Amino acid sequence: MNHINLFLAGDSTMATYDVNRAPQMGWGQVLDQYFNEKIKIWNEAVPGRSTKTFIQEGRQKRICQLIKPGDYLFVQFGHNDSKADSDRYTEPFTTYKQNLEIFISNARSKGAFPVLLTPVQRRNFTIKGKILDKHGSYPVAMRELAMELAVPLIDITEKSTILLENIGPELSKKLYMWLKRGDYSNYPEGMEDNTHFTELGANTIAQLVIEGINDLRLPLAKFINKEEMGL
């Protein structure tokens, strides 16, 4: 049966983790269950990567070699592009946008469809229960580029902000790696992590991505597993 490939390029929030890291999961790790058998997910996301290092390591080149006409490339970076170290850092309105353009142009050169996704919010609340944004100008720059190059954009920064503020500081801990001492054998000392997701969190963000696909009326939407989404 012919299928459509959906390639994912991103960082730790999207990546796939071994069982010895459970319950940690990236949203790309669970995305396949929200599509029928017509869609094949290639999760190429790697923890710690920025647009710069992902390209430098040849990971974008690998995707370009595999991607075919009619396939999709979802690109979500920003967490590590903002890191101060020179190996990963990109400036939002220059090198970050330029690197994203490489993903876009390479996909289009192969007859595939690029889609940009702004980075998922970290779980950082103000005392008034509002999200304290940690991504600076990166979502803004990505939105600008999407407009400039007519690339579909799923605004996960906005969607996850709304989600987290609706859930609130306490319940949102269930989505992230806030683990109590002794609850998980992989983390006997527990953990308090406001960036990475539990299985519940990964699925929650994946559902926001599916919602974004529907919002944009992408052709991919007809392959969504409606039972999994409760539709």
Residue 212: CB atoms within 10 Å: 21
Backbone angles phi, psi at 184, to 5 degrees: -130, 130
Q: Rounded CA gap, 143 and 122, in Å? A: 19
| 12 belongs to the catalytic site | yes
Joined tokens for residue 21: 């890291």
Q: Rounded CA gap, 196 and 194, in Å? A: 6
| 160 belongs to the catalytic site | no
Q: Which of 12, 50, 82, 172 is catalytic?
A: 12
Q: Which of 148, 196, 199, 228 is catalytic?
A: 196
Joined tokens for residue 209: 């991505």
Q: Which of 37, 57, 148, 192 is catalytic?
A: 192
Backbone angles phi, psi at 104, to 5 degrees: -65, -50
* Catalytic sites, residue numbers: 12, 192, 196
